[in-house]
Chain A
Amino acid sequence: MTSSASSGPATSGATAPVATASPPAPRGREGRRLAPAYGLTAPATIFVLLALIGPLALMFRYSLNRFVPGQMMVEALTLDNYARFFADSFYQEVLGTTLWISALSTLLCLVAGFPVAYFLVRQASDKWKGRLLLLIVLPLLMGNAVRTAAWMVILGDKGLFNAVIGAIGISPVKLMYTPTAVVIGLVSVLLPFMIVTLQSVIEGIDANLESAAQSLGASHLTVLRRVVLPLALPGILAGTMLCFILSMNAYATPVLIGGPSFHMMAPTVYQQVAKAMNWPFGAALAFVLMAVTLVLTTTANVLVQRRYRRWSE
């Protein structure tokens, strides 16, 4: 899921580029006729090429075209659309908002998700672990629209939260249409991804290492800091990237919980492409979004890996 996120997932639909388990090397039949292999994969491959890769290439080409109001699009080979993005303070702010909201949501997911993953692996019985994981994953697959509706019921001006604090004599708080509410909504979408990713990595850490450290007198916090965290780092990195990518591309939460004057990148892409019908600029926005996400996640990856290597030496 969201995939995306995003879609759920992914997001919205969009999810987990990291957890992909590559099947082990195939056994048997090696070196034999390859025709069946290509015949079997060809339909799916062609489908993805036509429905995803081709359209992406087309959209990239369009991002170099020129937009003329009333005429939609004029063939050109210009970087104007990208230049406009970096010259216009409005779009800089949109990107800025998207970045800090994503960074904050991801950080909160990490802080809240790690103890849960650790609890599931080290303290819950197998039966309960399965049940709890299912309970954590289920809400994720209810869809962004439903989950967002649920948060609106709670965060609205006359929503459940204000009703509850009103009952104990606290004056109502404005939550809807605030960045706080957007972060709350996003964290609830992203947490399951973080927990599932971290859980699978902590699962691979030998519990004896922790017991050993403990028996040598290390406090629990020291064990976490010196044993668990370094070993879980690849998972922490994977979970962080996943949450960050999904939240950079979030659509439903910023639109519905952030309200009309709250702008993040994905809704802006939609607005430009489908409403303003400014395809060249909308296309450029989409590629800026993907490029910024890619550059940031790759940089973080390299930096953390370098640090990790130093640790493990």
Chain B
Amino acid sequence: MGLLAVNRIYAAITALVLAFVVLPLGAVIWVSFFANRILSFPATGYTLDWYVRAWQLDSFRNGFITSVETALVAVALSLALGVPASLALVRYRFPGRDAIQTLLLSPMVVPGIVGGAALFMAFIELEILLDVDISGTLPGLFVAHGLIALPWTVRLVTASLVGMSPSYEEAAQSLGAGRLTTFFRVTLPIIKPGIVAAALFSFVISFIDLEKSIFLVGPGRTTLQIALVSYLEWNLDSTVAAVATVQILIIGVLLLVSDRYARLSRAF
């Protein structure tokens, strides 16, 4: 087999795999414009009506709003907890450092369903103990999503700190800057790309989460992913395709922006 033939085989397999991964998304975008009342092929015409209907459906509109709120809080929480921790993990050597790093990355490793079930049980116990509602409320979702986002933030921020020489910070401190001044005036501006990438990525990770949220949503407090799945269990139509298309668009833009700051394929 000649070298050229071998290369062609690799290129062909790559093209097939790409099509396999990308085409389904193309299909869902395509059918979101179908005029057919009941989803079928081929299209009888094209329309934008499904987008209007999707926004009119309470479950999708409210789900979207809840998901955005939750994702924003998850980003804030994961940055507030993750950035200081990353700073310590990279700049200090201390007993228990490896253990803490493993612990902070562990929410990524524990399966979503298992972690979600455990958190659900803990919330119910707390409710009984404190006599307040937690499961099925926004704060409950915030905690769960902060937990999902944290390891990604730690990973991306430590990566950008590792790439930054501590001599800048040492120089600032030797010139008399305090710890806080050094952090806000020197460290933060330098690792900003890593933080922006972490924020965008955390947003996406929280927005698309399904397994953990499924235990924690309540009536009227449902995230978009749960709304999508409950809808899909009974029907598949162009309305749900329209919602999917909007989600693909939003996440696509966020990820393309975040890829400019830190290579996405390295986040895995």
B48 interface contact, C-beta 8 A = no
Q: Chain B interface: which of A81-89, A111-119, A228-236?
A: A111-119
Chain B contact-residue range equals 35 or more
B125 interface contact, C-beta 8 A = yes
Which DSSP category, helix, strand, loop or mixed, fits chain B's interface?
helix
Given contacts A270-B117, A273-B215, contact A153 B232 (CB under 8 A): no
B23, B85, B115: the one contacting A45 at CB < 8 Å is B85
B24, B42, B211: the one contacting A266 at CB < 8 Å is B211
Given contacts A44-B84, A48-B147, A274-B214, contact A58 B121 (CB under 8 A): yes
For the complex, what is the distance from the CA of A45 to the CA of B229, rounded to whole Å?
33
Which DSSP category, helix, strand, loop or mixed, fits chain A's interface?
helix
A97 interface contact, C-beta 8 A = no
Min C-beta distance of A121 to chain B, whole Å: 10
Given contacts A37-B88, A153-B241, contact A58 B148 (CB under 8 A): no
B181 interface contact, C-beta 8 A = no
User: Contact flags (1/0) for A260-282 with B, using CB distance below 8 Å?
Assistant: 00000010011001100001001
A27, A136, A146, A195: the one contacting B248 at CB < 8 Å is A146
A14 interface contact, C-beta 8 A = yes
Q: Chain B interface: which of A99-107, A248-256, A300-308?
A: A248-256
Question: Which residues of chain B are near A43, meaning CB under 8 Å?
Answer: 80-81, 84-85
A14, A123, A273: the one contacting B108 at CB < 8 Å is A14
Given contacts A13-B108, A56-B118, A58-B118, contact A191 B94 (CB under 8 A): no
User: Contact flags (1/0) for B1-30 with A, using CB distance below 8 Å?
Assistant: 101001101110110011011111101100
A170 interface contact, C-beta 8 A = no
User: Contact flags (1/0) for A41-67 with B, using CB distance below 8 Å?
Assistant: 101110111011111101100100000
For the complex, what is the distance from the CA of A23 to the CA of B108, rounded to whole Å?
18
A240 interface contact, C-beta 8 A = no
B107 interface contact, C-beta 8 A = yes
B244 interface contact, C-beta 8 A = yes
For the complex, what is the distance from the CA of A148 to the CA of B244, rounded to whole Å?
10
139-164 of chain A: CB within 8 A of chain B: 139, 141-154, 156, 158-160, 163-164
138-179 of chain B: CB within 8 A of chain A: 143-144, 146-148, 150, 154-155, 158-159, 161-162, 166, 170, 179
Contact A53 B103 (CB under 8 A): yes
For the complex, what is the distance from the CA of A85 to the CA of B20, rounded to whole Å?
37
Contact A149 B214 (CB under 8 A): no
A-B contacts, 6 of them at CB < 8 A, read A23-B90, A45-B100, A47-B146, A138-B264, A266-B211, A283-B117
Q: A44-B82, A249-B211 are in contact. List 17 more A-B contacts (CB 8 A).
A: A6-B112, A14-B111, A17-B105, A19-B268, A25-B93, A52-B118, A116-B17, A123-B7, A134-B256, A134-B259, A146-B28, A146-B208, A146-B248, A149-B244, A196-B268, A251-B210, A273-B121
